[in-house]
Structure 1
Amino acid sequence: MRILHIANFYGDKSGGIRTTIHNLGHSYIQRGHEFTFIVPGSGFYCEETPTGRMIHLPSILIPFSGGYRIIRRNKDVKNLITTLKPDAIEISDRFTLSQIGTWARKRGIPAVVLSHETLSGLVKTHLRFSLTRFVNWHNRRLASRFKYVIATTQFAAKEFKEIGTPNLVTIPLGVDLVNFHPRNRDESLRTELLKGADILLVHCGRLSPEKKPERSMQALELLLQQGINAHLVYVGIGPLQKKLMQASKDLPVTFLGYVAGRQKLAAILSSADISLAPGPIETFCLAAMESLASGTPVVASKTSAVGEFLLLGSEHPVGAVFDNTALGYAEAIKDVMRLRSRNSDLARQCNQQAENFPWSATVSQMLRLHDDSQKVKKAQHRLRAA
């Protein structure tokens, strides 16, 4: 099968979408399929990669986004689709690329869209009020353009369920269980990052407004005031980086920037005491899942999807959630500190929970969708031939 994935907001230092595409591509190729992905670039060029053929198209740099780009012309995408003749199309952009779904359907090519974000959450974050009628209209239109809308969690699926979307499918993303594991814990690296502190907090993610990275620093200040000797490490870059660095001048905070090597990132996550995920509208949060795979419990916003993975309310939770306030955040961090102190098996339990989300399961479910599409497509061809 020839599978084509088209994405915006992809770059050398982008996070979740890049990781998702690479893992899907690698797994598709291992199972004997052909995989190509189209992403924004500085010009038009093609390269072969271990995760498939990557085609860059001329794009527009989005101001104040920290380097994100979107493909300049959908016409270029359509021309490539005509040339590549894919059997199935995957779209990772519910906004500027949504028209591709309708265009592809008219040409007999089944297309699915992955909803990596919640529109209702984005509206509330950036506009401070809800636009329910607009959100519902957009989501209905999006669903009508694709064979399936794929949500990665129940949280991501909620706004589509509320309008009765008939072609909604929930497929969780996966986690790299080979590279992320408790065995990567490095005591010398931990000592280096602690800089004399007792508790190592790691915030891994893009430093952008919708992810509320400043909340981790606000919680740290409260912990310090309560006599807890903690050090906060930020892993990632984004438009808020400079502002955060200025605000951290008198605080025990380290900014590591973008960490390219998976092994280095895995060592950082597994050497931390707690991983922080304050984004209030995260629809999956791969960094949180990678932290669990590394044996590190997670503190996350109670309004995001991350709580779905933390076994909250069970006998052995692997993290905690907070109410989107600095005080609530600090208290949740202390709850997990107490959890660590009384549960010597916590790292193994975190890793076991992550093992429920292998990429192999994600890929199997995606291929079942595509195979179903192919059966429908072939049946239609036979009817025409008859």
Structure 2
Amino acid sequence: MRIVRLANFVTESSGGLRTALRELGTGYAAAGHDPVLVVPGRRDGDEETGQGRVITLASPAVPGMGGYRVILDRPRLARLLRELRPDRLEISDRTTLRWTGAWARRYGVRTVMVSHESLDGLLRLLPGGHRRLADRLNARTAGAHDQLVCTTSWAAAEFHRIGARNVVQVPLGVDLEHFRPDRYDPLLRAEHAGKDELLLLHCGRLSPEKRPERSLAALTELRARGVPAVLVVVGDGPRRAGLAAAAARRGDPVRFLRYVGDRDRLAGLLASADVVLAPGPVETFGLAALEALASGTPVVASAESALPEVVGTAGLAASGEGPAYADAVLELASRAAELRRAAARQQAERFPWSASVAGFLTAHDLGVDVPAATSGGR
């Protein structure tokens, strides 16, 4: 079957969504299907990759969002879809691409909408009450597609609240072969922290909804308590310059690495940190946090998000701002290193990509003869 997959709000360096698209496409191909991914980019492109055919449509960047691009040319995309003649359509954008559900119904194509974000959660960040608006928009989304895929029960809650009956829960996965505790690198760790310092890592996009300032506030609180902690920030986004300036004013030891494209180096950083911070309040899954767990590093996550559901007892949930995160960091750091690293890895092993691929193919009403492990690159 030809599974055409559409995604907006991706960049050349976007993390979680690009990773999920790559791994799912690779799994679909390994299961004998014909995956085609359509994404926005700086210029047009068309190439065959390990995840199947990848078509890039030249699209404008969204102002103030740090490089996110969106396919806005509906007639062009509709023409491309007619040319591709999909058997299944998988959509990874609930806003600007929702119209493709109606297109698919006109042509008798089964659709799966993947809820990578929580509309309920995003609207909650704005002043005022927006639950009715979220419910109305979510009802339209549910009605426009054959199947909705949510990655956690937290993400599915906003659809269950409105009585949507076409919702299935399928967790994402993690590359257990690449992200491993034995990636611990004492030389890499020494680049960022002294022998007796606590190495914290924030890995994620530096945008307002991710609340990266909480990670910096946790560091400030720890140092105020006399804890010799340092913070490495992996990721980029519109908040980076302001965060760097604030850290410099306070004299806090924060190193901003921007986007780390070398997956081996990223795996080494995750395995060499003492604690990873994931403070975003509207995360629906948290791939970076799961990669940390696979690397043997516990995670402090926002109690407002879906991450406590993913992290389990291998980490802690923090409610509030910097002091709460500092408390959680100290509690995790007090656990024996061997025990906390083993617990993190054990939790991550519950989420192989092969299970995710099988779940998504089931949502597509397709066979699920999936190899035990899938991993690939563009």
Tell me which residue corresponds to 1:181: 180
| Separation of aligned partners in 2, 1:266 and 1:43 | 30
How far, CA to CA, are the matches of 1:324 and 1:154 in structure 2?
22
Partner of 1:214: 213
Hey, what's the Cα distance between the residues in 1 that align with 2:293 and 2:213? 22
Q: Displacement of 1:106 after TM fit?
A: 1.7
Letter in 1 for 2:285: F
Counterpart for residue 253 of structure 2: 252
Kept in 2, the 8 Å contact 1:181–1:293? The answer is yes
String of CA shifts for 1:174-220, please: whole Å, max 9, x gaps: 11111000010001111111146510000000000000001111111
Q: Report the counterpart of residue 318 of structure 1 in structure 2.
A: 314
For residues 2-21 of structure 1, the aligned pairs below 5 Å read: 2-21=2-21
Q: Give the superposition deviation at 1:76.
A: 1.5
Q: Percent identity at matched positions?
A: 45
Equivalent AA in structure 1 for residue 217 of structure 2: Q
Stretches of structure 1 that go unaligned for 5 or more consecutive residues are 312-316, 374-386
Asked if 1 retains the 8 angstrom alpha-carbon contact of 2:332 and 2:340, the reply is no
Q: For 1:291-306, list aligned pairs within 5 A.
A: 291-306=292-307
1:127-167: per-residue Cα shift (whole Å, max 9, x none)? 22331111100000001110011110011011111111110
Is 1:350–2:349 an aligned residue pair?
Answer: no
2:150 and 2:323 mapped to 1: Cα distance? Answer: 31
SS in 2 for 1:276: strand
Structure 2: which 5+ residue stretches go unaligned?
A: 368-378
**Residues of 2 paired with 1:139 and 1:9: CA distance?**
19
8 Å Cα contact 1:292/1:298 also seen in 2: yes
8 Å Cα contact 1:222-1:327 kept in structure 2 = yes
Name the amino acid aligned to 1:248.
Answer: A
What are the within-5 Å matches in structure 2 for residues 93-112 of structure 1?
93-112=93-112
User: Which of 355, 361, 365 is the matching residue for 1:367?
Assistant: 361
Shift of residue 8 of structure 1?
Answer: 0.4
Residue aligning to 1:265: 266
Displaced runs of 4+ in structure 1, greater than 4 A? none
Distance of 1:372 and 1:363 partners within structure 2: 11
Which letter does structure 1 place at the counterpart of 2:314?
V
Q: Is the 8 A contact 1:321 1:332 kept in 2?
A: yes
Deviations 1:93-113 (A, max 9, x none): 000100101110121100111
Q: Please give the root-mean-square deviation of Cα atoms over the aligned residues, in Å.
A: 1.3
SS in structure 2 at match of 1:255: strand
* 2:31 partner letter: R
Q: Which moved more, 1:330-339 or 1:170-179?
A: 330-339
> What is the deviation of 1:81?
1.1
Tell me the number of residue pairs that the alignment of Structure 1 and Structure 2 aligns: 365
How far apart are 1:263 and its partner, in Å?
A: 1.0
Structure-1 separation of matches of 2:202 and 2:363: 35
Alpha-carbon distance in 2 for matches of 1:334, 1:210: 25
Q: Is the 8 A contact 1:45 1:57 kept in 2?
A: yes
- Which structure: larger Rg? 1
Q: What SS does structure 2 have at the residue aligned with 1:29?
A: helix
Q: Give the residue type in structure 2 aligned to 1:137.
A: R
Name the SS of the counterpart of 1:248 in structure 2: helix
Is contact 1:278-1:324 (8 Å) kept? Answer: no
Q: CA deviation at 1:53?
A: 1.0
Per the alignment, residue 149 of structure 1 pairs with 148
